[in-house]
Chain A
Amino acid sequence: MSHDMSEEKLPESHGAAGEVADHVDPFADPGLPAHEPRRTDIDERAAKRAERQVSLMFVLSMLATVGFIASYVAIDPDKIVYIFPLGHVSALNFALGLTLGVALFLIGAGAVHWARTLMSDVEMPAERHPIEADDEVRADVIQQFKTGAAESGFGRRKMIRNTLIGSMALVPLSGVVLLRDLGPLPEKKLKETGWKEATPAKPVQLINMSTNTPMTAADIAVGSLTFAMPEGLHVHDEDFQQRIAKDALMLVRIAPDDIKDDKSREKGFDGILAYSKICTHVGCPISLYEQQTHHALCPCHQSTFDLSDGARVIFGPAGHPLPQLKITTDEKGFLVATGDFQEPVGPSYWERAR
């Protein structure tokens, strides 16, 4: 390093080096440079100092481990402390993490410092050997293989060979067959929702998800967004998750004149439209609604649906509109469904149109 520096200060001296280069290859490999000793190699006091530094790190690591155990015993898991600039954090997590981190880090720092200052840094070459075997070995191995193959008779006794291949090809089938009971066949499962219980003779009430009560048309204000599920479904039901994944509804009320799609208006009741809450892209629940534009946005992948126009997709990756559930009111004035969705809810799939 210092050698380079002195050269830098004496640019003129390089005329001589250029002349030398006239009769040798200027780009030749000069060979491994001589080892330059470090301070700790030549100064015993520097080496001692490095030794003390390494030991100090190891000692501090021990103390940090003691601190870890002390924190584990002493700090209440519920204790919250304010630590600038982190804010309010769990005291136990902070103390344990910091002491463990310091204990580990100092072992590493000590070891690396030791290696860098006190262990030999003399670079030395080791020879490489080609990965490929030489021709003699290659020929020998191939000969051995041929001998082995010939002795097995695998190539000659074709019947054994073919039946072995056959049995080996068939035996994994048992494993494949065993996978059959992983789950049921799809059948009509993705087609139907919990609303299929509803018939014109026996309508199913729409239950407000927040109040857990049926709703009258008057409960739904123009411009509001309400989430609903079918009556008879309860949060603690065994299959609640599975059912709500398809049955979830969002109700919006739009002034009838603002509804652009006639079919959509007819499926609704007095401007109240019941759409599936499950996005037709990959099934996230849609939950962002713009009251003035009637746009509903899925927060996962930003598919945007125009609820005033039959939930047409106006932006994003969804492939088709949200299915709409036909609703009306029963004799008591509560909003009800009289049948299932007319198309599958949620993400589309191969047999969707069947």
Chain B
Amino acid sequence: MSSASSTTSGATKPASTRANPANKWEAAADWTDGRLGIYSLAKANLRKIFPDHWSFMLGEICLYTFIIIILTGVYLTLFFKPSMGEVIYNGSYVPLKGISMSEAYASTLDISFEVRGGLLIRQIHHWAALVFVAAMLVHMMRVFFTGAFRKPREVNWVFGFLLLVLGMFDGFFGYSLPDDLLSGTGIRFMEGAILAVPVIGTYIQMFLYGGEFPGHDIIPRFFTIHVLLIPGIMLGLLVAHLILVFYHKHTQWAGPGKTEKNVVGMPLMPVYMAKAGGFFFLVFGLIAVISAIASINPIWAYGPYRPDQVSTDAQPDWYMGFSEGLIRVMPGWEISLWGHTLNLGVFVPLMIFPLVLVAIAVYPFIEGWITGDKREHHILDRPRNAPVRTALGAAWISLYLVLLIGGGNDLFATHLHLSLNDITYFVRIGFFVVPVITFIVTKRWCLGLQRRDKEKVLHGRETGVIKRLPHGEFVEVHAQLPQKDLYKLTAHEQVQPVQLPAQTDENGVAGKAGIFTRTRAKLSRGFYGEGSQIPKPTAEEHHEITSGHGHH
């Protein structure tokens, strides 16, 4: 290690002046450095410091499941035939013998039954895809609730968001490929959704499907999109995302010795190489075990796709569930005007779907605009210390969950013995009401936690020791928090709401602030004004209480 960094300065000198390498490994490193400049790269990164917190591994799960998906996906392409050409099945799965089906479906059956280990790889691929999208969403929530998206990381937030959206769609294209009864139903849904687009819907549908539904082109086309187009873009975004993580250095929680100007943790080599590298194997191993014991998407049970057949509990994969909810609970409004039909019942959900996603994507820019904060932030916020942000995030999640209920209304109805119609009506109302309630509850909750922090800082922690005073009164002894805890609980800064510029200038001439300025001031008051945060304890308050004994 030390030899690597000590020779770095030599990298700029002519190679001839460099000391002779100590062994053949150094010689090989010298050779590579002479061509790729690895020493300069390694100097900045080999002992790069990473802070330690369990929530920082969520992003790692995304990275590792992506790698697992690529590895298993390449294997699957060796056997899968993306063709809608019709064949008669003659494989080893007896119930489907003699039935006509597409080559795509037949080859997926072969992967599951003829190729040894093919079923395992298929199941790892699918399980990893579910975990991938889930991990991306949870990782994104971690970044959201801790304020890690603030300057300088807004662009990386957008990269991450694009990865989430692309991941969701690639999942959809992927589970559409086997051409079984369930996936074909998804492709049919997509056709209906596209047809609902005004003016150009029928053209997009004809061009995408190569004619009328289902045609013979959609699976080969989805295949190319699924294995080449989207993963290619995702790989680029992923590399950019990781480069930026390295470049910005990791965020960290407030704590003793941690500032906006440093990052405290352990070095990449050896600790994080071992921990993060090992974590890849942990994730891969767990997913392999899950794939050994839990079946996923048993396409042989559904049968080949037929447009006139369907199974009764057709559900998309979980990450598409909220769009399914939108489509299920939307009233069937249809407008016919001037000889044209506007299918609002499908088109409105089709528009709300991206809006729900974009709402969370643009949040960092909105918050940045409201605070007007141009500084870099590397210390994370505790969610309670940003009550409005936390409440908005919670409201977004609640909206997502309400829509998931809507998407699974048939399953909720059958499993919980509820009326399907009632669930649908609940979701129609809940779509508007639940996020509002969640917002209010979460915000109050955060303020309550802030009050508790303040209490702990000023009055100390309850020790459980009961003391009897001379006149008979019992009191509980409170213990001062250690300095590191006091620092941790008071380290956050509290944003003050922006003030409207004076309504009159120095000459007394009335000037009116523009609509943007006024909106911004209003939002700022809502975010950071009185009632949106509890003023944190001051040193004076602390002195006053700690100097007067007995005031607990």
Contacts and interface: CB of A to CB of B under 8 A. Distances in A.
A354 to B, nearest CB: 5
B150 to A, nearest CB: 12
B307 A78 contact: no
A179 B212 contact: no
Nearest to A103: B285
B28 interface: no
A94 B208 CA distance: 40
Q: How large is the interface on B (under 10, 10 to 19, 20 to 34, 35 or more residues)?
A: 35 or more
A179 B207 CA distance: 8
Contacts of A183: 206-211, 215, 217
Q: How large is the interface on A (under 10, 10 to 19, 20 to 34, 35 or more residues)?
A: 35 or more
B410 A302 contact: yes
B196 interface: yes
A105 B191 contact: no
A172 to B, nearest CB: 17
Contact of B292 (A93, A122, A288): A93
A318 B345 contact: yes
Interface stretch (A156-164, A275-283, A323-331): A275-283
Contact of A281 (B208, B288, B346, B547): B346
Interface string B225-246: 0000000000000000000000
Contacts of B299: none
A26 B546 contact: yes
A303 B330 CA distance: 11
A241 B463 CA distance: 74
A285 B308 contact: yes
Nearest to A127: B262
B289 A97 contact: yes
A90 B256 CA distance: 54
Contacts of A126: 48-49, 249, 262-264
A89 to B, nearest CB: 8
B310 A119 contact: no
B455 to A, nearest CB: 15
Identify the 7 closest CB pairs spanning chains A and B, nearest first. A97-B292, A282-B192, A105-B285, A111-B278, A32-B257, A108-B281, A319-B334
9 contacts: A32-B256, A72-B116, A98-B293, A101-B287, A182-B207, A248-B308, A319-B334, A320-B334, A350-B201
Interface of A: 4, 7-8, 11-12, 14-15, 17-19, 21-22, 25-33, 72, 77-78, 86, 89-90, 92-98, 100-112, 114-116, 119-128, 130-131, 179, 182-186, 189-190, 209, 227, 229, 235-236, 238, 241-242, 244-246, 248, 277-278, 281-285, 287-288, 299-303, 313, 315-320, 346-354
Interface of B: 48-49, 52, 86, 92, 100, 113-114, 116-117, 119-120, 123-124, 152, 185, 188-189, 191-193, 195-203, 205-215, 217, 247-249, 256-267, 270-272, 274-275, 277-293, 295, 305-314, 327-334, 336, 339-346, 376, 378, 409-410, 420-421, 424, 457, 460, 463, 465, 477-480, 482-484, 486-487, 490-491, 537, 539, 542-543, 546-547, 549
